[in-house]
Structure 1
Amino acid sequence: MTAVPALPAWLLVLLATVLSTAVAGAWWRHARERVLDLPDDRRLHQVPTARGGGLGIAAVLLAAAPWLGSGGVAFALGLAVTAGAGFYDDLRPLPPLAKLLLQALGAVPVALAWPLLPGLLGPVLGVAAAWLLVIALVNIWNFMDGSNGLAATQALLFGAAMALFAGAGTPAAWLGLALAAGALGFLPWNLPRARLFLGDVGSHALGFTVAALALRAMQGEGAIAPWLPLLLASAFLLDASLTLLSRLARRERVWQAHREHLYQRAILHGASHGRVCLAYAAWTLAAASLAAWLLAAPSAVAWGVTLAWLFSGIMCHALGGRRWPRPGTDPRKDA
């Protein structure tokens, strides 16, 4: 049985937002001279900035675990391991392989609790697919956390939309509201001017919860269709995946930090952090509107439109790549 909160949803969202903001503020006062993200040629910021502000988001999400029913303990355990690995990396950088192993460990409980499409894939492949999904989204949110407000805004929109589509009072709806509230509480520290970064603790917590929310919402009676979270996360999925494939094709070390994502290239060519955040938010809001329209459509139509949406995203990414070439490849600057 799921523990139903005694307070109304709007009050819980308000309290969760305040908690996220307060924890981030307390951490900022400690970290602003001790735990700094320093500028270098692979980052977009120009001044040393405190990192680790996602602690407040992690706290909110852990507090929401009791509302998830039988998978709540698995979610809390996995989140603690995954976000904990990120927090340790914020304080003292971990080797990439060690961090990946901890992410893989943290993904296990959620994959076992909520396999991906077990009716189609079977129990073993369903667990394996869920495990890979969690690891992938943790890293995607980590890769895409490089511009003010971007990662938190995308998580906020994903959580709010999933809460709406999952239905009031469902475990997925409560988790979606917690995700949205945690991200909302952090944003004043990061947008429009960044006084505090999410850090790996924040990006890991967001990516982990996006994956867990998608998996939880596809379980049981009233489960959502898989195309829906695919649409809602398409902005990050497309930019991260296409950039990764491009780097693999050039045989680059994909685990190293870089400035080749489309959002990074746009900022390097003069776009503001706020405009980039707004553009990605507009894409996700359009995807959510499309998803709402597709809810009553036959499955084949919904999947066809989703694939067409993803293809249009690939075309937009290609056009954006021409407008904002990779660092070091712009002939206008190299001439």
Structure 2
Amino acid sequence: MKALLLVVLAALPVSAKLVSREQRLDLVRRARLRQAVDPSTMDLLNGPQGDGSFKVGEAVSCKYEEKDPLHPLGGHSPKFPCWTKSGERLKVKYKGEANPEVYGEVAGSRLLWALGFYSERMYSVKIVCENCPADPWTSTKESPRAVRTFEPATVQRRLKGTEVSEVEGEGWKFSELDHVNPAKGGATQAEADALRLLAVFMNHGDNTANQQALTCLEGDPDCKAPVMYVTDIGGVFGGKGYFTSYRHWTKKKSLWKDAGNCVADYKTTDEKSNDPEISEAGRKLLADLLGKLSEKQVRDLFLGARFDDLSKRQPPFIWPDGKSRPLTVDDWVKAFLEKRAQVASARCPR
């Protein structure tokens, strides 16, 4: 496939390639969404291991990178880049008290990974930052510097490869899953609907196109097997506009707007993907995948994303009689299992 333009993203393990509309549509048709895995074997506490991985809570040392006014960091969540002694640039998100993505993005990406869906790798660690301002996101050149510790903080690992789009930063919309064609090597409708229903399950409220990437993986220079995956999944286990919030994740008691026809109850930033109708094949695939996770793995999912720390920052659990107690990881686990049971018990007409 001929590239019209190649733009290297500085110090990131991905590059970007601009292609024609026809070339992009061809890639979408051939895109894969997941690979075969056995969820029962996945380590949800620490996540995917290997090159560039970390254990939950691992101390990671790096040196602060001064801000470049010509290349400011995007987004609204507190973050900063820093460099390891080996010369690797890390993207760090921090400040969990004001940034629920520190928790939600780890949990969301790890659940996708555990079920075989392509996803970024997110690790919850302790960052030990040299020559660092007290608050890198709001700091100036004059801010005092010292060795600072940020915990919990996250380190992001995107899929290695080349991101492809017609316009820089374009991504893809969930509604484009309709164009993926298994006859051309792309994902099946069952896989596409399972991903849609998983987004409903997690209440992934911010799914604008630039939160997803169409990628040619490293080692596939001709892009014979492109993949579509979610690159920014911080707004999960909460809802549209609420990020990670137990109260808002559990406020909606049913996953379904119309259970008899398997129309999901789902409101997002991309209105075309609201309230998707799920096929029986897609529901069954997700039910089977979720069903292979043990209760311990579900607990590890939330512990590995430091929901024990998040729960201290959330409103208390309210009993039916009005009494309250501190929120715990057990509450998140119970809510997960209840929603999983809804996926398992449903039957879809198409």
> TM-score interval w.r.t. the shorter chain?
under 0.3
TM-score in terms of structure 1 length:
0.27
Q: Which has the larger radius of gyration?
A: 2
Which structure has more strand as a fraction of its residues?
Answer: 2
Which structure has more helix as a fraction of its residues?
Answer: 1
TM-score in terms of structure 2 length:
0.27
